[in-house]
């Protein structure tokens, strides 16, 4: 295959879920409704946390940032897919593809770091309650969130710059519904060894290390909860972690499904379905998980919705 000059206007083709024209309206309606529910649900959580003084705590500060990252995560992939379905075009420009990769890595990384930070927050709250105000001070929380965004932005920038140096062959079909990095690297005619080394190293760093941190935190949390003599006390402690644990299982479970499906299955459709669970369904379900399992969030959202009718937020 002939390499293509990077100075020319390159385009990639996103294969998408289905070539069947009869399924396109169904897919469009499904993903549009999912996108709107995700954005509105996460915006409600952000507004509730900002406007309700009772939620001005580290846990909800992290949750606010997680909702912001989830909006960015789904906005990176779904709008372009909806445009392609509506216009019956599979094309995405070279610049748009690299940009999509960049922001996908940014928001995916932020999600991972924030889930780990929230696990640490619950660990300190339950295992060291007397020292919690000092350990999780506003300054510390701000630094943790800043570090989450900075590390994600830095990695995404490095990987994007490494991708920009590549030359791509005449085969420009990406067998996915968005510009997935691994799929794009298979289309390169130039050497991708450095790209893959960085990819595997950071995937391990962003996946394995945070997961170990979450596992360690909840091992200590469960051990501390079991020592509580009061049944009501144990239930209250478990309930404060229930929402976060549900999101962790959903995020890591679907993310693991993406990599397992790509490794053991030759069907790219199965890989895309697993990716849709990870990139589309998970951000949509997070607001429901927190609003259904968290009394404070439910109360704040009710006040927020009621204020829409009254014109004031009480």
Q: What is the pLDDT of residues 249-272, one digit of tens each?
A: 877 777 666 665 554 445 566 667
pLDDT at 32: 94
pLDDT at 6: 47
Give every CB contact of residue 246 below 8 A, 6+ residues apart in sequence: 289, 293
pLDDT at 183: 84
Confirm if 206 and 45 have CB atoms less than 8 A apart. Answer: no
Write out pLDDT tens, residues 200-238. Answer: 888 777 778 888 888 898 888 888 888 777 777 677 667
pLDDT at 2: 47
pLDDT at 138: 93
Of the candidate ranges 34-48, 188-202, 286-300, the one whose mean pLDDT is the lowest = 286-300
Give every CB contact of residue 60 below 8 A, 6+ residues apart in sequence: 49, 296, 297
What mean pLDDT comes out for the span 282-300?
Answer: 79
What mean pLDDT comes out for the span 104-123?
Answer: 92
| pTM summary value | 0.86
Write out pLDDT tens, residues 6-59. Answer: 434 578 988 877 677 778 888 899 999 999 999 999 998 999 899 888 889 998
pLDDT at 9: 52
Q: What is the mean pLDDT of the chain?
A: 83
pLDDT at 140: 95
- What the chain holds in terms of domains, given with CATH numbers, is 3-310 (1.20.1070.10)
pLDDT at 40: 93
Of the candidate ranges 58-72, 90-104, 287-301, the one whose mean pLDDT is the lowest = 287-301
Give every CB contact of residue 243 below 8 A, 6+ residues apart in sequence: 289, 290, 293, 294
Backbone angles phi, psi at 154, to 5 degrees: -65, -50
Q: Is the pLDDT of residue 292 over 70?
A: no
């Amino acid at each position: 295959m002939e390499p293509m000059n990077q100075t020319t206007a390159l385009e990639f083709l996103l294969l998408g879920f289905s070539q069947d024209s009869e399924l396109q309206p169904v897919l469009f309606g499904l993903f549009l409704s999912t996108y709107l529910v995700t954005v509105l649900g996460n915006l409600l959580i952000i507004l509730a946390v900002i406007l309700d003084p009772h939620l001005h705590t580290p846990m909800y500060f992290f949750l606010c940032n997680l909702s912001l990252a989830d909006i960015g995560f789904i906005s990176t992939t779904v709008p372009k897919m909806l445009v392609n379905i509506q216009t019956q075009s599979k094309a995405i420009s070279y610049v748009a593809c690299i940009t999509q990769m960049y922001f996908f890595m940014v928001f995916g990384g932020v999600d991972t770091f924030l889930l780990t930070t929230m696990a640490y927050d619950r660990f300190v709250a339950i295992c060291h309650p007397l020292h919690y105000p000092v350990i999780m001070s506003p300054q510390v929380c701000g630094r943790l969130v800043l570090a989450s965004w900075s590390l994600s932005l830095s990695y995404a920038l490095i990987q994007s710059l490494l991708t920009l140096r590549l030359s791509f062959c005449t085969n420009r079909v990406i067998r996915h519904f968005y510009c997935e990095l691994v799929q794009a690297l298979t289309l390169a005619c130039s050497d991708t060894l450095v790209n893959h080394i960085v990819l595997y190293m950071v995937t391990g760093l962003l996946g394995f290390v945070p997961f170990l941190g979450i596992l360690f935190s909840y091992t200590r949390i469960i051990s501390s909860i079991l020592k509580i003599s009061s049944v009501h006390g144990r239930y209250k402690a478990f309930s404060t972690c229930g929402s976060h644990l549900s999101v962790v299982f959903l995020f890591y479970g679907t993310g693991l499904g993406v990599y397992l499906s790509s490794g053991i299955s030759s069907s790219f459709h199965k890989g895309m379905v697993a990716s849709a669970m990870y990139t589309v369904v998970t951000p949509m379900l997070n607001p429901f998980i927190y609003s259904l399992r968290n009394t404070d969030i439910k109360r704040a959202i009710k006040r927020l919705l009621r204020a829409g009718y009254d014109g004031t937020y009480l």
